[in-house]
A = this chain, B = another copy of it.
């Protein structure tokens, strides 16, 4: 090898740091690349490490991009969570407002996230499914409604409706943001029968 073995910035990190860095890189790459198409080479290159090290932290490529997806889901989840102080009625509207804001702000990243989640891989789909189920719980709770099967299904399908509509709206707004939010609330209210 040459005289200077390492350029300069080569530092040894703790396991936690490294993991976090790798997931972070995945999140940065998400908007431009479908999760499953992230290449280990690319990620390792960006982190300035060897491919092998990545496999030290994530046994499988799938493990890696599942972790990235989970991280994205966690970010969204924390942003959406109803603020405990708010009156029950405004909790749902608040969630919807924050969701619309989120999609509007992180358009591409969020679309990429949803795409990856909806796409083929069952593991990734599972991550998204979990979040959806928790969202249904929270929503039914905020509405003060019992959660029989039918109602759960309605709320879930309403999420699908909202996702699609908000995505379209972000691309080509056919109404004001307030009108959009009001419409979504109204559809939900009617669906779960109030």
**A residues with CB within 8 A of B:** 34-37, 112, 115-116, 118-121, 125, 148-150, 153-154, 156-165, 168-169, 172, 174-175, 187, 190-191
Q: How far is it, in angstroms, between the C-alpha of A121 and the C-alpha of B164 when the chains are bound?
A: 18
Measured between beta carbons, the chain B residues less than 8 angstroms from A118 are: 115, 118-119
A120 in complex: contacting residue of B35, B158, B169, CB < 8 Å:
B35
Secondary structure class of chain A's binding surface, majority of residues: helix
Known contacts A35-B120, A157-B164, A157-B165; 12 additional CB pairs below 8 A are A34-B120, A34-B121, A36-B120, A37-B120, A112-B120, A118-B119, A153-B174, A154-B165, A156-B165, A157-B161, A159-B164, A161-B164
Report the separation of the CA atoms of residues A163 and B125 in the bound assembly, to the nearest whole angstrom. Answer: 16
Shortest Cβ distance from A36 into B: residue: B120
Q: Chain B contacts of A165 at CB under 8 A?
A: 153-154, 156-157, 160
Q: Whole-angstrom distance between the alpha carbons of A158 and B115 in the complex?
A: 18
Oligomer copy total: 2
How near does chain B come to A47, taking the closest CB pair, in angstroms? 22
Q: Which residues of B contact A116 (CB under 8 A)?
A: 119-120
Most chain B beta-carbon contacts within 10 A, residue among A121, A154, A160: A160
- Please give me the residue from chain B that is nearest to A175 by CB atom: B150
In whole angstroms, how far apart are the Cα atoms of A118 and B119 in the complex? 6
Cβ of A169: which chain B residues have Cβ within 8 Å of it? 153
Residues of B within 8 Å of A112, CB to CB, are 120
CB A108 to nearest CB in B, in angstroms, measures 12
Do A174 and B149 touch across chains, with their CB atoms under 8 A apart? yes
Does B161 lie within 8 Å of A149, measured CB to CB? no
The residues of B that contact A190 with a CB separation of less than 8 Å are: 190
Closest to A161 in B: B161
